[in-house]
Amino acid sequence: MRTREDYLEEVETRLARMFRASRDGHKASPVDRHRLEGFIQAGSFLGLASKDELQSLMARVHFEVFGKSIEERQSEQANSWVLESIDYSQYDQPAYERGRI
């Protein structure tokens, strides 16, 4: 018979595996993400862990893998897509005229 501790250990293992894959540049498949979400929801439904306990576990494992909180990482990812301001005015002139000296 599995115990609450077995369940929490398995959640931690699965979270760590998914976070390490993400850290290493591998996006989790939708199937794997949904399986993990379902496993977590089932444990909550069965009373093996509360939603707050599971969120805390997720935050701790995320910090162990990435060295930063989920919020910090999300903020960094959002900022990494800011487009640079590129001056394209040099291309306003036709190409055949730009080539003249």
38 vs 84: CA distance, rounded Å: 40
Residue 35 lies in a domain: yes
Residue 56 lies in a domain: yes
Total tally of structural domains belonging to the chain: 1
Cβ 90 vs Cβ 98: under 8 Å: yes
**Which tops the pLDDT comparison, 32 or 88?**
32
The average confidence (pLDDT) of the chain is 87
Residue 88 lies in a domain: no
Residue 100 lies in a domain: no
Average pLDDT over residues 13-39: 93
Rg (alpha carbons) of the chain, rounded to whole number:
23
| Domain, as residue range, for 18 | 4-72
Tell me the CB-side half-sphere exposure of residue 63, using CA atoms within 13 A. 8
Residue 79 lies in a domain: no
**Which tops the pLDDT comparison, 99 or 18?**
18
**Which tops the pLDDT comparison, 5 or 27?**
5
Predicted local confidence at residue 88, as pLDDT? 67
Predicted local confidence at residue 74, as pLDDT? 85
Residue 57 lies in a domain: yes
